[in-house]
Structure 1
Amino acid sequence: MHILVIQNHPGSPAGILGQQMEARGAWLQVVEPLTGAAIPQSADPYDGVLILGGAQSAADDAGNPYFADLFALLRGFHAAGKPMLGICLGSQLLARLFGERVYRHDHVEFGFLPLELTESGGTDPLLRGLPGRPHLMEFHEDAFDLPADATLLMTGSGCRNQAYRIGESVYAFQCHIEVTPEIVRDWARLPAATEANGGADPIARTEAEMARHMEGSARFARQVADRWIDLVARRLAAGLRKAG
């Protein structure tokens, strides 16, 4: 399986999601637009796409001219029925792709916060069997309206739209399910983390929260990655059977 990874920011790699996908035999091709890498022109060579987070706003087309090419590429993935998985900024870009707005939230969400699976989330192919109230890493200042055709899978008290699915092949998570301890520690050193944490020490906070929640977050991410790769494999096999 050939998975395209859009790494929107150098500090936001695929983390546990990427590790688990590779463990399942997927080949990840990472494209970093902020380093000057070109967005692929076609979805044809790929079996799925992972769109990661970043510090930029999903609503800022002028500041991110590569968005136009990215939206064109993602429309190609959707038209072909190829699975897409968006994380944080990626979830916001997918919301825009499906006609909804992205806007500044009334506060910055930061840290391992309690979320809740909806009734639909509890029976979803990717999420069923997972704890109904996981604590997952957040670090975002924007939010989005839920696309009309989306099914809400997870919600939170501080930001309602935390995960959704469109059809069978599009998944998006506002929360950072991909994080490793190293990623969290790198983020906690950023001035933006101190600001998001109300001026208090974000390093002490995240270390304490990781001691309680990192293991559960990692299990959550590995299951999502496993089942998403299963989805990619099923879609690929179905396409091959149809072509044959």
Structure 2
Amino acid sequence: MSITPVPPLRVVAVRHVHFEDLGTFEEVLRSRGAEIQYLDAGLDDLSAITPDGPDLLVILGGPIGAYEEDRYPWLGNLKAVLAKRIARDLPTLGICLGAQLIAASAGAKVYPGGKRELGWGTISITQEGMNSPLRHLREAACHVLHWHGDTFDLPEGARLLASSHVYPHQAFSIGSNVLGVQFHPEVKEHGFDRWLIGHAVEIGMTPEQNVADLRRGTAGYAATLAIQASKMLNDWLDGLKSLPTPH
């Protein structure tokens, strides 16, 4: 009796700055036999992404606004792909800017929040969030990294999963297979200095933060976050529909 081989999980990750990659999530995905392709905004043709092409589409963070299509026209192509994936309930994950782009693609408003939320802190998980993989990131379990100044309205029909004391909309889901998280669960201690270099100007504009404190926070919190974020992602992947079975 022949056994039909299971196709690998095809993951496309859209990266806006090189150091904001999949981080801990890449290790989880590769452990499940995933084939990962990075597409770099501003370099690769994002219009070539077909809505039903990747098994999983991940939109990563970056220091631009989801509403800045006049400056970055390719954002329109990305939103068009996301809108179609949301409509078809195809597995899609957005982190920081990625979450804001999912919100915008679902018809919600994304806008400057008036306060920069930057540094390590906790999130409050809603009751619905406690019944989701986000429960692994509850305040008692770990700290997460916040790094944004924009916020968004909750898309119609979305479920709010997490909040913070600065911004009430920190994580949400749409349908069964679309998840957006405003904070960074994927960040790793190894290589974090790239964030400090790449975002030096933004750190300098945030009086309550500095490089030494961010590095110290990362040393104290990143290892535990990696454990909890891996649990969160594995649970989320296990609950998705239509993904290839892990090897």
Where structure 1 has 5 or more consecutive residues not aligned to the other structure, the ranges are: 239-244
Deviates most, 111-120 or 211-220: 211-220
Q: Which residue of 155, 159, 177 corresponds with 1:147? A: 155
Q: Which residue of 98, 123, 134 corresponds with 1:127? A: 134
Residue equivalent to 1:192? 201
The answer to whether the 8 A contact 1:59-1:102 is kept is yes
C-alpha distance in structure 2 between counterparts of 1:197 and 1:237, whole Å: 43
The C-alpha deviation readout for 1:123-163, integer Å capped at 9, x for no partner, is: 11x23455444310011111111112111111100111111
C-alpha distance in structure 1 between counterparts of 2:208 and 2:136, whole Å: 37
C-alpha distance in structure 1 between counterparts of 2:227 and 2:35, whole Å: 21
TM-score (norm 1): 0.88
C-alpha distance in structure 1 between counterparts of 2:65 and 2:54, whole Å: 26
1:236 aligns with 2:243: yes
Q: 1:179 to 1:121 in 2, by over 3 A?
A: same
Residue equivalent to 2:228? 220
1:20-39 matched pairs, under 5 angstroms: 20-39=28-47
C-alpha distance in structure 2 between counterparts of 1:140 and 1:40, whole Å: 28
Residue equivalent to 2:4? none
Deviation, structure 1 residue 41: 4.0
Where structure 2 has 5 or more consecutive residues not aligned to the other structure, the ranges are: 1-8
TM-score (norm 2): 0.87
Paired positions, count: 235
The C-alpha deviation readout for 1:42-74, integer Å capped at 9, x for no partner, is: 123321111100011111011111112112212
Alignment-mate amino acid for residue 242 of structure 2: R
The C-alpha deviation readout for 1:163-206, integer Å capped at 9, x for no partner, is: 11111111000001111114532222332343243175x22102
Deviates most, 29-38 or 15-24: 29-38
Instruction: Report % sequence identity.
Output: 27
Q: Which residue of 152, 165, 168 corresponds with 1:160? A: 168
Residue equivalent to 2:110? 102
Aligned-partner SS, 2:163:
strand
C-alpha distance in structure 2 between counterparts of 1:215 and 1:237, whole Å: 29
Alignment-mate amino acid for residue 39 of structure 1: S
Deviation, structure 1 residue 38: 3.5
Aligned-partner SS, 1:9:
coil
C-alpha distance in structure 2 between counterparts of 1:22 and 1:39, whole Å: 26
